[in-house]
Each structure stands twice: as structure tokens, then as C-alpha cells.
């Protein structure tokens, strides 16, 4: 890069400045503490084949060919150049002549020795170095006070830039010490930054930091090579490495900066074209490094490095500008860093040619520039950490908001469904009661329609609530004993009415090896099978519905059962088979009109099956029928304690007196009518509030108390707690919660408050009596825990 800038600056210099500078004949060295620029006093002779000797060039023929205004930069030339200059100095004073170009291969100074020719000092990789220094230096000690003419012979591989300076030896040494001090600070800063960023990389595992560390190492080596300090401090020179260090480290630094930019600016996603260009650049440069290291001529290497540097500058400036324009603010730091780098290189070059005065700032511009660069890139990295943190905070906030919204949504759904279910229960309850009264045919048809519609609405509400619970991950599965026989019997009982009405045949085919008792979630199993069976009944106009149960796996701990629900119904078109498991999807657009339903049932079933580690499949032929197969895993039970609880066919056999506590008069009436209608042995008394219920309970003996959970003033939980803590003689009375909500948490809270069980409104009298019967049996026989489901 520096070489590239060198060339530009030199070219500008030649164009504008050199023609007006005054050529002078001899340089008068007097001041001990200034740096003299020798260039205006130089005359030059080109030696194209590097064949002329000092004797030859002293002949008048060649002397006349010396040009007065030699170019500062002789370009990529391999020719030799003779430079002639005359200086005047107090005798016996030591001066140092230096050529500020570490890339020079060879330099030879011919120092006049009175009348008898020249004393020769040589510098360069071809001969022994006089001084082990970063660029060519020569010691001059004029013997007389008269003007002396010197000859300097140079050639090299890189661009032949020749800033030739002279200063007193003491001044040179003083400057050199200061220089070394600054260099030490500079490389120290690079080292600390590298260690610091490496630690960040170890903790953050962000590749940008690693690339940045590698960049720091490479730029340090590049600057060491370019300034000549590498030769002076680190490696022997001349050697294979010292000849190629600038070329190799320069190219590698460029590669590393491009890799860093690709990673840091996420170019693959944000600027794919520039990402590709960057990658091509890296590949080509790697090839260039390999060829340059082992095959190419040294002078060609330097030319290639200059071209690479030019392309590199264009690429990194372009991608930084584009990224910045795209809104990546960290790219702004990079842009600033590259600009500072270019300016500092420019200042260094201008100073090297004496175009701007030497002061601490101009002399150290390369170091100051590089340190600023390193800091700016670190700032870019810090800025990125900051923006990543901001993003994290934002994501966290969004997550919290989403969770909050989900919670609010669930609460709204739960409340809504509760609010809708309460009046709906009244509708269903009264419809049921009305059905049993004396009505005309038309009236009973209307009542049936009201009843059916209300039931459908209830199913829909339950489905929506279920689906929202599943989506919120709120569904948990129990592992309690399942009695398969009972489960199937219950399913068939539930569907009996529709089956009889449609004159269908309903069969159960349970393979012999299927265990009757196993562990799982009976409620969910019932929900899954009821859904499939009621669909089968619904979509089968004539024929049969069969529930087949087979054993898929029978192991010591686990079993897997296959449930198949087969019908001879309308079937499902092949192109709809895969979509019927999606929410709100039905096999045909006429389904709702003809059969009702919402298309939610199978979506819920599929989720419930899969959440338990099972799977569901369907085979169907339109007009012939469908088979839904569900495979589900369960755990086996070994310690089967056969319960000798036989639920009587008609119960209660003995009188059963219940207390119903509910604030809603309609609900009270429905519950009471349900109990009364179910059995002449059962009687229910009513209380409109918790307090009233407690008072009644103190005075009267009841077999069980039904308590509504949601009541003003004293809710169901409070009533239960009060009974358990303040009425010692009612410690064992069965308390059953009534609720319109389906939330599992209600159940848990009810149990925690001292209740034994829960019924969902509208409840079936049979279900309620069974629960009470079981509870009373368990409570009378303390060995048995109350059944809590």
C-alpha cells in the first residue's frame, strides 16, 4: 500500500514541484542538528546494463551525460543509477548519508580520497552490510574543507525511490534512539490489542475478533518489514525471507483485512456481490503469494504487490461505504480507519521526500495512523458488541411482550369461555329439562334443535380452548391407571344415542393380548377416541362403525397400542387426506352445511397423539369408508389391586341428599333438576351463597356438597377451606367442585382447598353419582385414598 501511495505522491511531485526547484551545485553542511535533503544537489546517469565502472563514468563522455534533475522515483527499474553530488563540510566532521528506502537491493558510495581515487562503502544483500540498519546508510568524514564530489551507485527490485538525506552522526543517533522508543511503544500497543482481542475471541467465539488479531499480527510484521526494522531486529538479512517479507506480509495483511470485512460486515447476506468479489480477491492473492514466494522474480513481486494494494484499497473502501449506506453503522468506523490509513501513508511519503517539514507528527505519521486504525477497528468491534447487546435486549423485550400477550390471550379465552359456557349450560340444562315435559311434536322439535345447537357451540368452545392450551404448551399428561374396558364402555354409552338414531351398527374388536389395565392419561385417550368415533358416526349414513384395538408392542415396561376406527361412511377424497389434520379444515366445502363441525377436532387429536409420542394416520376411499389409526405408547401396571367396587346399575339405591351451593339461580335450578330427574332416591337442597351453604351444612346432614367455584363474596375455594377448618364434624364429607371452566389449574386449586373432585358443568347425574359413590366408599374405608379424577 505504501508503495502504491509512494508512486502516486512521487508522480504528483514530479509533475508540479520538481521543475521549479533550484538545482544547486554543492551542499554546504554546517548545522549539526538539521537533516539535509541531498536530492536537489544530485546529478544522475543511467547504467542500463549495470556495466559501467567508476573509472568509466569519470571520463568526459559520461560526465556530460549526467542529468541535473534526476527523478526522485525511477519506477520499477532494474538498471543501475550513478548519482553524483558535491558537499562542503568542516574537516573531520562525521556525517551519515542515508537513503530512506529499505527496499533498495544494492547501494555503493564512492568517497573521494584526496587525489588517489575513492574509498568504497557498500550496502545491500549482495555484499556484506557495512551497517546492520533498516535502510542504506553510509558514514562520511570529509578530510578537507574544500568541496568534495561523491558518487552513489544504486540498483534495486522494487520502485527505485531515492530520498537521500545527510545529517551529523550525533543527530542521526539521537533521532534513531527516539525513533526506536516510539517504535517500541507502537509495537507494544499492537501486542496489547492483539492479546486483548484474542481474550475477547475466546469468550465471545466471534470469528471477527480472531481475524482482527491475525490482522494485528500481520500488519505488525508488514510494518517491521517495510520499515526495515525486521531486518534490523528480527531476522537475518540478506535471506530468502528478508527479500520477500514485505511482499508476503503485505499481501497477507490485505487478505486478512478483506476476510475481516467479509465476516464483520456480514457481506454474504448484506452485499452478496461484494462478498464474491472479496472472495475472488482472496483466492487470487493467495495464488500470487505462493507464486511470488517460490517462482517469480523479486522485482515482479513488488509490481504485483503494488497492483494488489490498489485493488485492495478500492475493495475495502467500496464495501465499507456500501455497508455504511446500507445502515451498518459499525462500517462507519472501518471507513474512517481506512481513510486514516491512507492519509497517514500519504503524510509519511510526503515527509520522506521532504515536501512537508519533519516533526514528531509527520515522522511518526505511519505509526500514529496505524495505532488510530487499530483503535478505530476496535471501536467498530465494540460498537458491534453494543448493537448485539441492544438486539438481545430487544429480543428479550419482544419475548416478554409475546409471553405477556399470550398470557392475556389465555386469560381472555378462559374468561370468555367461562362466561359463554355459563349461560350455555343454562340453555342446555333447560333444553334437557324441557325435553322431558309434555310438549307438542313441533315444540319438541324446536327444543331438540336448541339442544343440539347449544351442544355444538359447547364443543366448539371446548375445542378452541383446548387448541389454545395445546399451542401455549399448557397441556400436561397424567400417568394414572386406565381401564380399557371401562373406557370403551363409556365411549359406546356416550355415542349410543346417535348410533341408534342413525340405525348404525357399532362394534368393538379388542385383541385378546391387549392388557385391560395400563398407565396413561384416560381423559386424553377418551377425548382422542371419542373424536374419531363421533366423526365416524357423523360421516356414516348407513353401515357400521368399528373400534379395533391391537397390541403393537408388549414389553416389560412399555406397551404400544393401535386403535383403529373404521367406518363405512362417505370417505374422504385423496387430495384432502393430508389437510384434514390442519385446524379449521374440512374434507369438503359442504361439510359444515351438511354435517356441522368446525374442522378443529382432528387438529387437536393429532397434536394430543403426537405430544404423547404416538402417531395418527388415515386411509379412506370416497363412498366406501375410512380407517383412522392411532398408535400410542403406555406404561404397564403390575401391582393390580382389583377394586371390588361395583357400581350398581341403578343408583343411588339408598337415599342421597346433596347440598348445591351456586350463586347463579339458573345453574342452581338445572343442577337440582338434573339430580332429581336422575333418581327418585336423590334429593338436592340449594344455597345461593357460600355463607348460606355453610349455615345449612351446620344444621343438616348431607351426603355430599357441590360447590360452584366462581362466586362473589366467598368463592368455592374459600367455602371448602372454611368447611375443612371450622366444621370439625364435616371433615370427611365429600366436597365436589362445579365449574364451567376447563382449566386444569382449577382442578389443582380445588384439591388444594380441600375438595375431593370436580365436575364440569353441565354435569351428567350418572357421572356425579358415581363420583359420590366412590368417594363415600373410599372415605368409609380409610385404606383407600379418595379418587381424585
Part of the chain binding ligand ADP (CB under 6 A), chosen from 110-118, 175-183, 272-280, 592-600: 592-600
With cell 491475525, the residue in question is 214
When asked if residue 568 is in the footprint of ligand ADP (CB under 6 A), the reply is: no
Q: Show the DSSP H helices in 439-509 as ranges.
A: 441-471, 484-501
When asked if residue 602 is in the footprint of ligand ADP (CB under 6 A), the reply is: yes
Buried b or exposed e, range 417-428, using 16+ CB within 10 angstroms: bbeebbebbbbb
C-alpha cell at 439: 310438549
User: To the nearest whole angstrom, how small is the minimum distance from the Cβ of residue 577 to ligand ADP?
Assistant: 9
When asked if residue 535 is in the footprint of ligand ADP (CB under 6 A), the reply is: yes
Q: Find, among 724, 702, 720, the residue nearest to 711 by Cα.
A: 720
Our CB check for ligand ADP shows the closer of 564 and 757 to be 564
Binding to ligand ADP (CB under 6 A) within 158-197 occurs at none
Is the peptide bond between 341 and the residue preceding it cis, with omega within 30 degrees of 0?
Answer: no
Our CB check for ligand ADP shows the closer of 354 and 601 to be 601
When asked if residue 567 is in the footprint of ligand ADP (CB under 6 A), the reply is: yes
Question: Are 62 and 195 a contacting pair, CB within 8 Å?
Answer: no
When asked if residue 607 is in the footprint of ligand ADP (CB under 6 A), the reply is: no
Q: Show the DSSP H helices in 572-664 as ranges.
A: 591-595, 601-611
User: To the nearest whole angstrom, how small is the minimum distance from the Cβ of residue 622 to ligand ADP?
Assistant: 9
Our CB check for ligand ADP shows the closer of 571 and 693 to be 571
Our CB check for ligand ADP shows the closer of 457 and 560 to be 457
Q: Report the C-alpha gap between 291 and 116 in whole angstroms.
A: 48
When asked if residue 498 is in the footprint of ligand ADP (CB under 6 A), the reply is: no
Question: Are 302 and 156 a contacting pair, CB within 8 Å?
Answer: no
Q: Find, among 750, 518, 764, the residue nearest to 633 by Cα.
A: 518
Question: Are 229 and 176 a contacting pair, CB within 8 Å?
Answer: no
When asked if residue 504 is in the footprint of ligand ADP (CB under 6 A), the reply is: no
User: To the nearest whole angstrom, how small is the minimum distance from the Cβ of residue 648 to ligand ADP?
Assistant: 36
Residue 604's Cβ-side half-sphere holds a number of Cα atoms within 13 Å equal to 26
Our CB check for ligand ADP shows the closer of 69 and 619 to be 619
Q: Report the C-alpha gap between 52 and 63 in whole angstroms.
A: 12
Our CB check for ligand ADP shows the closer of 9 and 605 to be 605
Q: Report the C-alpha gap between 747 and 789 in whole angstroms.
A: 9
With cell 543501475, the residue in question is 80
User: To the nearest whole angstrom, how small is the minimum distance from the Cβ of residue 568 to ligand ADP?
Assistant: 10
When asked if residue 586 is in the footprint of ligand ADP (CB under 6 A), the reply is: yes
Please, is 197 exposed, middle or buried when counting C-beta atoms within 10 Å of its C-beta (0-12, 13-18, 19+)? buried
Binding to ligand ADP (CB under 6 A) within 423-442 occurs at none
Residue 8's Cβ-side half-sphere holds a number of Cα atoms within 13 Å equal to 14
> Length of the chain, please?
789
Binding to ligand ADP (CB under 6 A) within 85-124 occurs at none
**Using CB under 6 A, which of 536, 670, 684, 753 touches ligand ADP?**
536
Q: Find, among 87, 89, 227, 91, the residue nearest to 152 by Cα.
A: 87
Part of the chain binding ligand ADP (CB under 6 A), chosen from 67-75, 147-155, 325-333, 591-599: 591-599
When asked if residue 547 is in the footprint of ligand ADP (CB under 6 A), the reply is: no
Q: Which residue is nearest to ligand ADP (CB)?
A: 597
Query: Phi and psi dihedrals of 661, rounded to 5?
Result: -110, 115
Our CB check for ligand ADP shows the closer of 354 and 571 to be 571
When asked if residue 546 is in the footprint of ligand ADP (CB under 6 A), the reply is: no
178 Cβ partners below 8 Å, 6+ apart?
none
When asked if residue 468 is in the footprint of ligand ADP (CB under 6 A), the reply is: no
User: To the nearest whole angstrom, how small is the minimum distance from the Cβ of residue 474 to ligand ADP?
Assistant: 21
CA angle 222, 348, 72 (to 5 degrees): 100
Our CB check for ligand ADP shows the closer of 598 and 787 to be 598
User: To the nearest whole angstrom, how small is the minimum distance from the Cβ of residue 530 to ligand ADP?
Assistant: 11
C-alpha cell at 333: 468506523
User: To the nearest whole angstrom, how small is the minimum distance from the Cβ of residue 424 to ligand ADP?
Assistant: 18
When asked if residue 569 is in the footprint of ligand ADP (CB under 6 A), the reply is: yes
Our CB check for ligand ADP shows the closer of 381 and 547 to be 547
With cell 408392542, the residue in question is 553
With cell 380399557, the residue in question is 484
User: To the nearest whole angstrom, how small is the minimum distance from the Cβ of residue 411 to ligand ADP?
Assistant: 26
How many C-beta atoms lie closer than 10 Å to residue 556's C-beta? 7
Strands 735-739, 704-708: pairing kind: parallel
Our CB check for ligand ADP shows the closer of 296 and 460 to be 460
Orientation angle between helical segments 2-12 and 330-352, nearest 10 degrees: 50
Binding to ligand ADP (CB under 6 A) within 617-636 occurs at 626
Part of the chain binding ligand ADP (CB under 6 A), chosen from 18-26, 418-426, 470-478, 535-543: 535-543
When asked if residue 663 is in the footprint of ligand ADP (CB under 6 A), the reply is: no
Our CB check for ligand ADP shows the closer of 109 and 605 to be 605
Part of the chain binding ligand ADP (CB under 6 A), chosen from 1-9, 61-69, 360-368, 532-540: 532-540
When asked if residue 499 is in the footprint of ligand ADP (CB under 6 A), the reply is: no
Part of the chain binding ligand ADP (CB under 6 A), chosen from 82-90, 175-183, 255-263, 564-572: 564-572
**Using CB under 6 A, which of 376, 506, 528, 587 touches ligand ADP?**
587
Question: Are 87 and 150 a contacting pair, CB within 8 Å?
Answer: yes
Part of the chain binding ligand ADP (CB under 6 A), chosen from 6-14, 80-88, 585-593, 763-771: 585-593
User: To the nearest whole angstrom, how small is the minimum distance from the Cβ of residue 535 to ligand ADP?
Assistant: 4
Query: Phi and psi dihedrals of 700, rounded to 5?
Result: -115, 155
**3-state secondary structure at position 553:** strand
Buried b or exposed e, range 115-146, using 16+ CB within 10 angstroms: eeebeebbbbbeeeebeebbbbbbebebeeee
C-alpha cell at 522: 384416560
**How many residues sit close enough to ligand ADP to count as binding (CB under 6 A)?**
20
C-alpha cell at 58: 569519470
User: To the nearest whole angstrom, how small is the minimum distance from the Cβ of residue 539 to ligand ADP?
Assistant: 3
Part of the chain binding ligand ADP (CB under 6 A), chosen from 82-90, 156-164, 372-380, 590-598: 590-598
With cell 581515487, the residue in question is 117
User: To the nearest whole angstrom, how small is the minimum distance from the Cβ of residue 745 to ligand ADP?
Assistant: 27
Question: Are 618 and 626 a contacting pair, CB within 8 Å?
Answer: yes
When asked if residue 572 is in the footprint of ligand ADP (CB under 6 A), the reply is: yes
Helix (H), strand (E) at residue 36: strand 36-37
Our CB check for ligand ADP shows the closer of 315 and 570 to be 570
**Using CB under 6 A, which of 580, 704, 706, 750 touches ligand ADP?**
580
When asked if residue 601 is in the footprint of ligand ADP (CB under 6 A), the reply is: yes
Question: Are 271 and 322 a contacting pair, CB within 8 Å?
Answer: yes
Q: Report the C-alpha gap between 315 and 221 in whole angstroms.
A: 22
Our CB check for ligand ADP shows the closer of 163 and 601 to be 601
User: To the nearest whole angstrom, how small is the minimum distance from the Cβ of residue 606 to ligand ADP?
Assistant: 9
Part of the chain binding ligand ADP (CB under 6 A), chosen from 52-60, 450-458, 562-570, 679-687: 562-570
Residue 10's Cβ-side half-sphere holds a number of Cα atoms within 13 Å equal to 19
Part of the chain binding ligand ADP (CB under 6 A), chosen from 83-91, 214-222, 413-421, 531-539: 531-539
User: To the nearest whole angstrom, how small is the minimum distance from the Cβ of residue 600 to ligand ADP?
Assistant: 6
When asked if residue 598 is in the footprint of ligand ADP (CB under 6 A), the reply is: yes
Give the footprint of ligand ADP on this chain (CB under 6 A).
535-536, 539, 567, 569-572, 580, 586-587, 591, 597-603, 626
Amino acid at each position: 500500500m505504501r508503495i502504491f501511495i509512494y508512486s502516486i505522491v512521487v508522480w504528483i511531485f514530479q509533475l508540479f514541484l520538481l521543475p521549479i526547484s533550484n538545482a544547486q551545485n554543492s551542499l554546504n553542511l554546517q548545522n549539526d542538528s538539521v537533516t539535509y535533503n541531498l536530492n536537489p544537489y544530485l546529478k544522475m546517469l543511467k547504467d542500463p546494463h549495470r556495466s559501467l565502472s567508476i573509472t568509466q563514468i569519470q571520463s568526459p563522455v559520461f560526465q556530460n551525460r549526467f542529468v541535473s534533475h534526476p527523478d526522485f522515483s525511477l519506477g520499477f527499474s532494474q538498471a543501475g543509477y550513478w548519482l553524483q553530488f558535491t558537499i562542503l563540510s568542516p574537516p573531520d566532521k562525521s556525517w551519515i548519508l542515508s537513503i530512506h528506502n529499505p527496499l533498495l537491493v544494492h547501494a555503493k558510495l564512492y568517497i573521494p580520497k584526496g587525489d588517489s581515487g575513492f574509498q568504497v562503502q557498500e550496502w545491500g544483500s549482495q555484499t556484506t552490510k557495512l551497517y546492520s540498519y533498516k535502510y542504506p546508510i553510509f558514514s562520511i568524514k570529509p578530510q578537507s574543507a574544500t568541496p568534495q564530489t561523491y558518487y552513489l551507485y544504486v540498483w534495486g527490485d522494487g520502485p527505485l525511490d531515492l530520498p537521500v538525506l545527510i545529517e551529523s552522526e550525533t543527530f542521526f543517533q539521537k533521532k534513531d534512539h527516539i525513533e526506536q522508543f516510539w517504535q517500541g511503544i507502537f509495537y507494544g500497543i499492537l501486542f496489547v490489542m492483539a492479546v486483548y482481542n484474542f481474550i475477547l475471541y475466546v469468550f465471545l467465539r466471534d470469528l471477527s475478533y480472531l481475524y482482527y488479531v491475525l490482522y494485528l499480527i500481520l500488519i505488525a510484521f508488514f510494518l517491521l518489514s517495510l520499515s526495515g526494522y525486521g531486518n534490523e531486529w528480527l531476522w537475518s538479512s540478506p535471506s530468502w525471507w528478508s527479500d520477500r517479507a514485505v511482499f508476503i506480509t503485505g499481501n497477507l495483511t490485505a487478505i486478512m483485512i478483506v476476510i475481516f470485512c467479509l465476516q464483520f460486515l456480514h457481506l454474504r447476506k448484506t452485499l452478496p456481490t461484494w462478498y464474491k468479489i472479496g472472495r475472488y480477491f482472496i483466492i487470487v492473492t493467495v495464488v500470487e503469494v505462493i507464486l511470488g514466494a517460490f517462482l517469480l522474480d523479486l522485482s515482479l513481486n513488488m509490481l504485483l504487490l503494488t497492483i494488489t494494494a490498489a485493488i485492495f484499497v478500492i475493495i475495502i473502501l467500496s464495501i465499507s461505504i456500501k455497508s455504511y449506506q446500507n445502515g451498518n453503522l459499525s462500517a462507519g468506523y472501518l471507513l474512517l480507519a481506512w481513510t486514516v490509513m491512507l492519509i497517514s501513508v500519504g503524510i509519511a511519503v510526503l515527509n520522506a521526500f521532504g515536501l512537508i517539514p519533519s516533526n514528531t507528527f509527520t515522522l511518526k505519521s505511519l505509526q500514529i495512523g496505524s495505532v488510530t486504525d487499530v483503535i478505530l477497528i476496535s471501536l467498530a468491534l465494540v460498537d458491534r458488541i453494543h448493537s448485539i447487546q441492544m438486539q438481545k435486549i430487544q429480543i428479550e423485550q419482544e419475548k416478554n411482550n409475546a409471553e405477556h400477550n399470550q398470557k392475556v390471550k389465555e386469560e381472555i379465552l378462559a374468561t370468555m369461555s367461562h362466561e359463554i359456557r355459563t349461560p350455555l349450560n343454562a340453555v342446555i340444562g333447560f333444553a334437557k329439562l324441557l325435553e322431558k315435559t309434555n310438549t307438542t311434536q313441533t315444540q319438541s322439535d324446536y327444543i331438540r334443535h336448541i339442544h343440539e345447537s347449544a351442544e355444538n357451540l359447547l364443543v366448539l368452545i371446548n375445542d378452541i380452548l383446548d387448541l389454545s392450551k395445546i399451542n401455549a404448551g399448557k397441556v400436561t399428561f397424567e400417568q394414572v391407571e386406565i381401564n380399557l374396558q371401562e373406557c370403551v364402555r363409556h365411549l359406546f354409552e356416550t355415542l349410543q344415542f346417535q348410533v341408534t338414531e342413525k340405525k348404525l351398527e357399532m362394534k368393538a374388536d379388542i385383541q385378546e393380548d391387549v392388557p385391560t389395565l395400563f398407565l396413561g392419561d384416560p381423559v386424553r385417550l377418551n377425548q382422542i377416541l371419542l373424536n374419531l368415533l363421533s366423526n365416524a358416526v357423523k360421516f356414516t349414513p348407513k353401515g357400521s362403525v368399528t373400534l379395533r384395538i391391537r397390541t403393537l408392542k408388549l414389553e416389560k415396561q412399555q406397551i404400544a397400542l393401535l386403535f383403529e376406527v373404521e367406518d363405512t361412511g362417505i370417505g374422504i377424497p385423496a387430495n384432502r387426506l393430508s389437510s384434514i389434520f390442519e385446524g379449521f379444515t374440512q374434507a369438503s366445502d359442504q361439510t359444515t352445511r351438511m354435517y356441522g363441525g368446525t374442522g378443529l377436532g382432528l387438529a387437536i387429536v393429532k397434536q394430543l397423539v403426537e405430544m404423547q409420542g404416538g402417531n395418527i394416520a388415515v386411509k379412506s376411499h370416497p363412498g366406501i369408508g375410512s380407517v383412522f389409526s392411532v398408535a400410542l405408547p403406555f406404561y404397564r401396571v403390575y401391582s393390580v389391586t382389583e377394586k371390588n367396587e361395583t357400581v350398581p346399575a341403578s343408583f343411588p339405591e339408598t337415599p342421597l341428599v346433596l347440598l348445591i351451593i351456586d350463586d347463579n339461580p339458573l345453574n342452581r335450578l338445572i343442577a337440582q333438576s338434573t339430580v332429581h330427574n336422575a333418581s327418585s332416591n336423590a334429593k338436592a337442597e340449594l344455597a345461593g351463597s357460600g355463607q348460606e351453604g355453610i349455615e345449612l351444612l351446620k344444621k343438616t346432614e348431607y351426603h355430599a356438597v357441590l360447590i360452584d367455584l366462581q362466586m362473589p363474596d366467598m368463592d368455592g375455594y374459600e367455602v371448602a377451606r372454611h368447611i375443612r377448618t371450622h366444621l370439625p364434624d364435616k371433615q370427611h364429607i365429600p366436597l365436589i367442585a362445579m365449574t364451567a371452566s376447563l382449566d386444569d389449574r382449577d382442578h389443582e386449586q380445588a384439591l388444594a382447598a380441600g375438595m375431593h373432585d370436580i365436575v364440569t358443568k353441565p354435569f351428567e347425574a350418572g357421572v356425579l353419582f358415581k363420583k359420590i359413590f366412590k368417594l363415600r366408599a373410599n372415605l368409609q374405608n380409610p385404606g383407600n385414598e379418595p379418587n381424585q379424577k
